[in-house]
Amino acid sequence: MPRELKCVAVVENTLGECPVWDVDQQCLYWVDITEKVLHRYDPVTAAVKTWKTPFEFGSIALRKGGRSIIAGTRDGFAIYDLETEACEHFATPEEPFPGNRMNDGKCDPAGRFWCGSIHEVSDPSQRRPIASMYRVDADRSVTKVRGGIKTSNGFAWSTDGRTMYFTDTPTLNILAFDYDVQSGTMSNERVFATVPKGHGRPDGATVDVEGCLWSAHFAGSRVTRYSPAGDVLLSLDIPAQNVTSCTFGGANMSTLFITTAREDLTAEDLRQQPLSGNVFAYEAGVAGVPMARYAG
């Protein structure tokens, strides 16, 4: 019997992204990058709380204690206090590139925040490889790890932390690297999987306890589950064209929460896909791996 996909938060996000499950509070956080909004969804009450952020948060990660988050901003990184709404902007490595902004990000198993930028132009085909990938250590030091990127997405780590995943979305390739958790370094780049043309573009991703990667397809109306060897195990259809990211949560960590976007959709697109921009939940039948909190 097929498992049920539900729309659980009607928020009509322009660019819903970076869902993060808070194990302590048992709630889901995510951002609407374009509208400069941070959301929190409580599955028990179905209530959605929103914060208006001072600038675009491309991605977020929880910090220890639960009171604040680290965020990738337009030109760098900030600490945002969820109680006082104070924002401490502590690094601006993308300032020399006004056409860029920080995009996807996630903490590695040791609590380092990895985040990459995007060359943001209205026509994706005109993006240039001037974006970069960064690592923010616990002392808030920022290291540029890689350049030559157009659209950073899909950060994820295997259950044992020894494999790191990443995609430069326009290439349609999901990359894998050997990862050293102790030093926070990656090596041995290879192509893990390639999204066929016409199936959308690989966006945000997460990993389950069986070592499988779940990857959202922007402009592809689906989430794909890949085996540790890169084979397609499941293609989950989503009633929204622009599927942006996914993460596991819920009481048993077996609910896959999926964010979507209304960006780039015409009035006719929205008529045919009225649930675009909302958050979905799918009982995956397998648990996910909680994302580590930022150690700083």
Side chain identity, residue 36: K
255-261 and 242-249 beta bridge pairing: antiparallel
> d(Cα 277, Cα 265) in Å, to the nearest integer?
10
As a whole number of Å, the CA-based R_g of the chain is 17
SS3 (DSSP) at 26: coil
> d(Cα 158, Cα 142) in Å, to the nearest integer?
23
Catalytic residue among 203, 237, 264, 269: 203
Nearest to 206 by CA among 150, 251, 158, 172: 158
> d(Cα 223, Cα 276) in Å, to the nearest integer?
15
Q: Reading across the β-sheet that carries 5-9, which strands appear in turn?
A: 5-9, 279-283, 255-261, 242-249
> d(Cα 233, Cα 231) in Å, to the nearest integer?
6
Examine the residue annotation and report whether 203 is marked as an active-site residue of this protein.
Answer: yes
Nearest to 40 by CA among 23, 12, 19: 19
Active centre residues (catalytic)? 203
